Amino acid sequence: MDDSKTMIVQWCHEQGLLGLMPHSISQVVLAPHVEKFPKSDAIVHKKAGNRPPSSIQWQVQYARTSRGWSESRLPTASRGAIEPGVLTQRGTYESLQHLAHFFPKVARPDISDEWKTHRYPLPLTPKFWSEYGESLSDFLFAAHMLRLSVDAMALKKNPRSQVDQQRMFALEAFLDPLLTPIGFTYGLQSGVGVVPRLYAGSLLAAFAAMALEDVPKGQIKRCPVCGSPFVAGAHQQTLYCSKRCRWTAQRRAYRKRKRADEIEGG
């Protein structure tokens, strides 16, 4: 619907994209490319009495770590190159077509083979965000996974009822994949020194981790009007997820009181 589309676009404008590609992929191996041989290395060759080559073939690899993404460039011969592709968080090795799905400017596979040789930028860099995109279906599916996971966090004991069993299934099926990019690392705080920190590999993972952290504090609540789970934040007395739901509840209460008064008076 047009109104819901506008809401999603506005949300992304304020929060950013969910980061589904860096969330679901842990390693990227690009296709080898040829560059002009570096001048500094050519000088070394000449001093050693050797004739430097005019070009060199490189293969770029990206890897997700507990502190972010790292890049490595390895010189490789035409027969020594690694098969280009991506390693997903499920442990499968897929072709670069899986990566091209997140870059709208790369020509579709049924039109061109550009996806095989495109110089995809290092994840989470400004160049990456300028080229990156997420399809609406992917965005909504990930949001739905997060919604089900937050809803399942209402589980208070070992599942016995059918509802609790469904919540447990949602936690096992959705929450673990949502938290996978979270890395335990460290930072340096002035006056304190080295301190432990969590690194979220995507906005989606950050939301899941924040919700999980808020559960023991009793800040995850369910709106009595629309049924949506929400974070109460510092205001524990908050009952509704939004002003709209609060106004709806107030109007319903007003109509209920008015009907009761009419019955008593008449």
Find the mean pLDDT for residues 181-193.
89
Long-range contacts of 128-135 (CB under 8 A, 24+ apart): 131/103, 131/105, 132/17, 132/21, 132/102, 132/103, 133/17, 133/102, 133/103, 133/104, 134/17, 134/18, 134/20, 134/21, 134/102, 135/101
Asked whether the predicted pLDDT for residue 21 surpasses 80, the reply is: yes
Same domain, 190 and 244: no
Asked whether the predicted pLDDT for residue 234 surpasses 60, the reply is: no
- Full-model pTM: 0.75
Residue 120 to residue 118: CA distance in whole angstroms: 6
Of the listed ranges 48-62, 119-133, 141-155, 169-183, the least confidently predicted one is 48-62
Closest to 180 measured CA to CA, from 194, 200, 164: 200
Same domain, 68 and 127: yes
pLDDT at 96: 95
Closest to 60 measured CA to CA, from 16, 123, 147, 152: 123
Residue with the bigger pLDDT between 251 and 45: it is: 251
pLDDT tens string 27-43: 999 999 887 776 666 66
Q: How many domains does the chain have?
A: 3
pLDDT tens string 153-173: 877 778 778 888 888 888 888
Phi, psi angles (nearest 5°) of residue 82: -85, 145
Same domain, 115 and 96: yes
Same domain, 106 and 118: yes
Secondary structure of residue 244 in the 3-state scheme: helix
Residue 14 within any structural domain of the chain: no
Find the mean pLDDT for residues 221-226.
79
Phi, psi angles (nearest 5°) of residue 150: -65, -40
Same domain, 116 and 54: yes
Asked whether the predicted pLDDT for residue 152 surpasses 90, the reply is: no
